[in-house]
Homo-oligomer: A and B are copies of this chain.
Amino acid sequence: MFSENLTWPKDLIDLRGLSVAHLMAILDAAESFREVSEREIKKVPTLRGKLVVLFFHENSTRTRLSFEVAAKRLSADTLSLSSSGSSMAKGETLLDTAKNIEAMAPDALVIRHSAAGAASFLGQRLRCPVLNAGDGAHAHPTQARLDLFSIRRPKGRIEGLKVAIIGDIAHSRVARSNLIGLGTLGARVAVAGPPSMLVRSLSEEYGVEVYHRPEPALEGADVIIMLRIQLERQSGQLFPGAREYARVYGLSQAKLALAQPDALVLHPGPVNQGVEMTPEVYHSPQSLILDQVTNGVAVRMALLYLLVDNPERPKSLVV
């Protein structure tokens, strides 16, 4: 199943530096764990006796629960640590807290942090594998991997697909990670968003088509990734308002009709129904949004399986 000469980085911080073979190996491993979640007993003994620490500095229902379920399905023990209630409140630095966690000999550290680069910073300084669960606007690699997985399952491939990404491209770590992953696997990507939510360099940096109107991006798309508008964070400066945004960028049945008839609709969740898309689109058979949640557990099982030292891990994967 795995290429003999595939070596892996110690940490998974973003999607840069992972080859097509690496991404495919992750998706293949996720496929077998996806099957586990359909069994009556959804647990495998792979990481029995291992300790996975979940260190979350930002609210996140989906990602934290998803990692926690993934770790438990692999029979690992988990420890949850949030900023509140931790020594962070006593003025300790991120590195100090992380070093202290490491001194308890965990087998992996999963981190979500508001600062871009936090995961990479820790990965370089800790001995245990560090998995980035989202760092500022930088990267959200496990989300991107589960998007790739969710697309490949029904479509059978990524290469050659047209993927539209609509919304706040400039400030979205989901977008950033997807641009890299989709590019690596040979998709043709078109992005669209208000001028304040795009950056000029996108086209050169990632080789994607950039539009201000969603229609040309959606036209003929095989896959549509709608990004979340952070209504609770919007200062009102980036766009005139949710209603106006919904009218121009929100995915309606009419806009969806511009894409391929079997186009898939993805969203990292939670969806602001009526803003990023209409309730009809959210509940339509083309929507993969809840499927993404199920796949998220499988992909995170795959990553823990591949990064944490364990008896089943293919020897060729060890660095």
Contact = CB atoms under 8 A, between A and B. Distances in A.
A72 B77 CA distance: 7
Contact of A65 (B41, B90, B101): B101
A66 interface: yes
Contacts of A51: 42, 69, 72
Residue among A88, A103, A270 with the most chain B CB within 10 A?
A103
B59 A87 contact: yes
A101 B293 CA distance: 8
Q: Can you tell how many copies of this chain the complex includes?
A: 3
Interface stretch (A14-22, A78-86, A177-185, A257-265): A78-86
A91 B232 contact: yes
Nearest to A290: B103
Interface stretch (A92-100, A194-202, A214-222, A245-253): A92-100
Measured as residues with beta carbon below 8 angstroms from the partner, the interface class of chain A is: 35 or more
A62 interface: yes
Contact of A96 (B59, B91, B105, B270): B270
Residue among A99, A270, A271 with the most chain B CB within 10 A?
A270
Contact of A105 (B37, B92, B231): B37
Given A37-B105, A96-B273, A103-B290, 16 more contacts: A41-B48, A43-B77, A61-B88, A65-B79, A65-B101, A68-B79, A69-B104, A87-B269, A89-B232, A91-B231, A91-B270, A100-B270, A100-B293, A103-B294, A104-B294, A105-B294
